[in-house]
Amino acid sequence: MPRLAGKTAIVTGASSGMGRATAELFAAEGAQVALTDVDAGKGAAAAAEIGAAARFWPVDVRDEGSIERAYGEIVAYFGKLDVLVNCAGVIGVDKPTHEVTEAEWDQLFAVDVKGVFFSTKHAVPHLIANGGGSIVNYSSIYGLVGNDEFTPYHVAKGAVTMQTKQDAAMYGKYDIRVNSVHPSTVLTPLVEGIAAAYEGGLPAYERMMTANQSLRRLGRPVDVAYAVLYLASDEASWVTGVNLPVDGGYTAR
């Protein structure tokens, strides 16, 4: 039997990268999937390619009203909600704390922190009405450990790590499980731009980024999507509050 048979899922940031890979895998495993994203053109195309089990709703996770409206429509359309995947995210400026402007900080936090808050806030009532469900948040290895780049992103993803634990503690009484995944560097459009600009291009970037990683290759979106699939499915029905690295062993060293 498909691993998500009979389930309905919302995936934010589903137009691209790991959100799209997650939506594709969910549909292949029997779920009905609502793809949401601020990029409506790519989102609608992705849903059309996935097929009849998928449909796209335009959502800007910075805009609470757009989330509330879309989630109401999605539940009316599919009849219920079982799974929420909070994947939408941006990486922001690569600066140390003493150089970051207030505007740069606020822009990043509006998507990566407040977006997860708004999305969870408006999914939880539907999950309670459903008698339970699963929330999976995309954090990062940068939400677990520090290093010498992208300071605001580290702090934002650290907030997602804690939002995961707190919501797991709070919503277990409704049989809602909340877990997060923590990828190291995964080859998605977000990273392809950074790699292309690196001296020596992608091969040099891959060598540099994986030098301190046990498995010396960059991740692929599906590597992480399979972890999200497990956490979303009933196979993980006694797993909550877990911050799961999917990182080629980056945080093992």
- Looking at the Cβ atoms of 70 and 130, the one nearer to ligand NAD is 70
Is 71 catalytic? The answer is no
Q: Which of 23, 35, 61, 195 binds ligand NAD (CB under 6 A)?
A: 61
**Does position 245 bind ligand NAD by CB under 6 A?**
no
Tell me which amino acid residue 159 is: A
CA atoms lying within 13 Å on the CB side of residue 170: 11
Residue 137 in tokens: 């948040």
Q: By C-alpha distance, which of 161, 164, 132, 160 is closest to 237?
A: 132
**Does position 35 bind ligand NAD by CB under 6 A?**
no
Q: How far is the CB of 250 from ligand NAD (least distance, A)?
A: 10
Q: By C-alpha distance, which of 50, 18, 19 is closest to 36?
A: 19
Q: Within its chain, how far is the Cα of 173 from the centroid?
A: 24
- Looking at the Cβ atoms of 127 and 225, the one nearer to ligand NAD is 225
C-alpha distances (whole Å) from 55 to each of 7, 11, 50 are 14, 11, 9
Q: How far is the CB of 156 from ligand NAD (least distance, A)?
A: 8
Q: Report helix, strand or coil for 9.
A: strand
Residue located via tokens 């040099």? 204
Q: Under rule CB under 6 A, which residues in 78-97 are in contact with ligand NAD?
A: 87-90
Residue located via tokens 């503690």? 169
State the binding string over 145-184 for ligand NAD (x if CB under 6 A, else -): --------------------------------------x-
- Looking at the Cβ atoms of 20 and 177, the one nearer to ligand NAD is 20
Residues that bind ligand NAD (CB under 6 A): 12-13, 15-19, 37-39, 59-62, 87-90, 111, 115, 138, 140, 183, 185-186, 188-191
